[in-house]
Structure 1
Amino acid sequence: MKKECYTIMILDDMLDSTLLLQRLLAKIEYVQIVHRVDRPEQALNLLDIRPVDILILDMEMPAMMGWEFVNLLDDPPVILVFTDHAQYGFKAHEIGARGYISKILNYNLLKKTIDDAIREVDYRDELTKNNSTCVKVRNFDTKRDEIIVHEDLCYAEVDDKMVSLYLKEGRAINSQMSLSRLMDELPDNKFVRISAKHMVGKHAVMSCCRKEVQIRGCESILEILYPNAYIKLQRMLSEDI
């Protein structure tokens, strides 16, 4: 799992029928129900304000069928269909539903279905991250958000709770965040954490050996202290040859 908590919306025109489902989901410590909705129009508004990782969807609602609702979403979350009607199988497949939750609930089966949905959430997030071209950070000094193009970020260094991001034009941005959090925002096919203190971008590497790396714009040689960092860095560099 990539996150500590995964968010869920339940959309069902009969919310009372989902009470047992809600109680069972509350037992799964790494998921949280943030929206319980009985009207599709309200669900659309809430998803605009606060998107979720997983949508548990009733397929048969009086105002709008479940698949009609999904077709209104520009970027649907991972979908789990909450139904006992097998005739909706084709429609569920058509909207890309990840699985089914039977209204005859079983905790172990429910948890397995949720875990499978979470794997899909993680896969999509990783795909999005690896295909991204920039990262947004909060500049501690100016108190403003800055968009940094990946190719401009050479390396980063952490000191206590402050991360300094060094850009290719020689500028540094200080941001109050952990290096782990920064790495979570960056594609792992472009950046490598080499120690507890440093991470580097493969495009900024001038030379490296098993124990150290020279980064463009950095006067010091950076130590490679994480065992697998050198192997990963070599693999990434060889892909560009």
Structure 2
Amino acid sequence: MKADPKVQRRLLDLQAIDTALAQLAHRRRSLPERAELEALARELSALEDERVRAQVAVDDLDRDIARLEKDVDQVRARKSKDEARLAAGSGPARELEALQHELVSLNRRQSDLEDAELELMEQRETAQGVLDGIERRMAEARDRRAATEQRRDDSLAEIGKEEEFKRSARQPLVGDLPADLVGLYDKIREDTGLGAALLTAGRCGGCRLELSGADLARIRKADPDDVVRCEECRRIMVRTNESGL
């Protein structure tokens, strides 16, 4: 393939743009906010598991407290009924005596139930505190996630503007170059990441290897408009006065 030496040198301008675009793509993929968001997602997932367990603990205590309250209400109702009968003083003496014994038993039962209920209410207060603490941590994590997402979006917007600027410069440059030369360059770049490089002081700028004497002799014999390639990395080598030929 042949191309005017000046045209070949413009491949370096194209490569500079493509290198910048590749660097921008790498920045896009490796934004620190991405890793931060992944860590926050794991943190929120773990907190949600904790929240569910804490909520279950609160719900279980609420259910137990409700059961005890129902039992206390039943005892109170029974006491009221017995006290009314005892106050009326109607019935055999033996029955009235039995009512008195039952009231003693009911008072003891009520006291035991109320003590148990108080203990459960204290446990519930502690469990609710745990749940509230988890929910506060989740809210803080969500705030950090929102701030991180904003930083990520700002960075992506900045990268997008730079990419648009580089692409707008690339398009007319490609349009001015021979299609076959651009096609070769693009194929090499897709395969190796770098399509063209300077030949400087007998060294390929693509693979950084020093050319052998035979390769240098071959390139010296090539016409100025010949498109020469590195035998090692197969990239297009652009010759200048500093190529060491």
TM-score range, shorter chain: under 0.3
Indicate the structure with greater helix content: 2
The two structures have a TM-score, normalised by structure 1, of 0.20
Query: Quick check: which has more Rg, 1 or 2?
Result: 2
